[in-house]
Chain A
Amino acid sequence: MDDKFILNGKSYNSRLIIGSGKYKDFGETKKVLEESGAEIITVAISRTNIGQEKDEENLLDVISPKQYEILPNTAGCFSAEESIRVALLARDLLSTNLIKLEVLKDKSTLLPNEKETLVAAKKLVSMDFSVMVYTTDNFELAIELQNAGCIAIMPLASPIGSGQGITKPENIKKIINNISVPIIVDAGIGISSDACIAMEMGCDAVLLNSSLAMANKPIMMAKAMKNAVIAGRSAFLAGRMEKSNKAIPTSKKDNFL
């Protein structure tokens, strides 16, 4: 069955999006990406080290924009204004209109700043960006962000880097039921079953980073995540059986003979 993930007019085989942060070195980053089967990779935008070696390897040499869809984020921004500035730099650097908008409330919780996120989303859409927006699990805000023209809604499963999994599945379900653009669970995935559950619920894709980078064996976990996302998607499409409060025999026979 043909089941492509369509995002921003492009079609992808993988529904797993991988973050490129926190791996032990670029070699591990590369292997994790290969093992995960991911086609879309997030990167952050930061000042260069102006004292660096001229020939020092750069992340973009490892994850080539020719091989992967590079999705820049606005991580580390706490206002709409900052995030717009970063988005403009990212567009120039990577020649892409795609941006994962991330405007945070504070450094301790790393939760989205809902008001500033909406302001930035509207502005970026008006500047021809294709905005994928990191947001809370508030479905009313998700609707506003969709109406503002965002191409994907990315609710958190739980706080960034916490690995707690989907703490409020009913809220994610509410977003799924009310939103027509792709829904990508972003942040808080801890292990493969979390990713699988997100996909079984009907999310269109999953974005994760720390659950790989912080695993004992990141490359092996990348494989687990790949399989979990495929399994969850298949299960969603197959449709689960009705739950019953009593046992129902599997065999049609009433008696032993």
Chain B
Amino acid sequence: MNKIKIKVNGEGISIGNNLTLSGLLLERELSENNIAIEINSEVIPKDLWTNKIIKEGDSIEIITAIGGG
């Protein structure tokens, strides 16, 4: 299977070709709740995650809320 290289939260990883954002979360065992995602500095709304195909070189940020003032 072809692999592509991407970055998730600054960490370089290899994933399968044609993987969607939802697929990535599933593969990394991350819950879809309480997170937001941007690809290459652009926010991807949750309803697009199931169809959004990740491309070679994409830089993905997965964020959540943490304690802060």
Q: Is the CB of A19 within 8 A of B68?
A: yes
**Number of contact residues on B: which range applies?**
20 to 34
From the candidates B41, B62, B67, B69, name the one contacting A48 in the complex (CB within 8 A).
Answer: B62
A253 close to chain B: CB less than 8 A: no
Name B8's closest neighbour in chain A (CB-CB).
A50
In the bound complex, CA of A74 to CA of B25 (Å): 25
Report the minimum CB–CB distance from B56 to chain A (whole Å).
Answer: 19
A168 close to chain B: CB less than 8 A: no
Segment with Cβ contacts to B, from A115-123, A207-215, A235-243: A207-215
A135 close to chain B: CB less than 8 A: no
- What is the 8 Å Cβ interface bit string for chain A, positions 34-64, against chain B (1 contact, 0 not)? 0000000011111110101011001111000
Given A48-B62, A54-B30: A92 and B67 interface contact (C-beta under 8 Å):
no
A88 close to chain B: CB less than 8 A: yes
Q: Is the CB of B30 within 8 A of A50?
A: yes
Given A43-B66, A89-B38, A208-B69: A48 and B33 interface contact (C-beta under 8 Å):
no
**Interface of chain A, main secondary structure:** mixed
Segment with Cβ contacts to B, from A20-28, A197-205, A221-229: A20-28
Name A76's closest neighbour in chain B (CB-CB).
B68
Q: Is the CB of B63 within 8 A of A93?
A: yes
Q: Is the CB of A46 within 8 A of B63?
A: yes
From the candidates B8, B62, B68, name the one contacting A75 in the complex (CB within 8 A).
Answer: B68
Residues of B within 8 A of A43 (CB): 65-68
From the candidates B36, B38, B41, B69, name the one contacting A73 in the complex (CB within 8 A).
Answer: B69
Given A21-B69, A210-B69: A58 and B28 interface contact (C-beta under 8 Å):
no
A72 close to chain B: CB less than 8 A: yes
Given A93-B35, A93-B36: A160 and B11 interface contact (C-beta under 8 Å):
no
Most B C-beta atoms less than 10 A away, residue of A46, A48, A58, A93: A48
Q: Is the CB of B68 within 8 A of A20?
A: yes
In the bound complex, CA of A72 to CA of B65 (Å): 8
Q: Is the CB of A29 within 8 A of B67?
A: yes
Given A54-B31, A58-B34, A89-B36: A47 and B61 interface contact (C-beta under 8 Å):
yes
Residues of A within 8 A of B46 (CB): 92
The 9 A-B pairs of least Cβ separation, nearest first, read: A44-B68, A19-B69, A209-B69, A93-B36, A21-B67, A43-B65, A20-B67, A92-B36, A58-B34
Known: A47-B61, A73-B69. 11 other contacts (CB 8 A): A20-B67, A43-B67, A46-B65, A50-B9, A58-B64, A59-B64, A59-B65, A90-B36, A90-B65, A92-B46, A210-B69
A-B contact pairs, 20 of them (CB 8 A): A20-B67, A21-B68, A43-B65, A44-B66, A45-B64, A46-B64, A47-B62, A47-B63, A48-B35, A50-B11, A50-B30, A54-B31, A59-B64, A60-B64, A75-B69, A90-B65, A92-B43, A93-B63, A186-B69, A209-B69
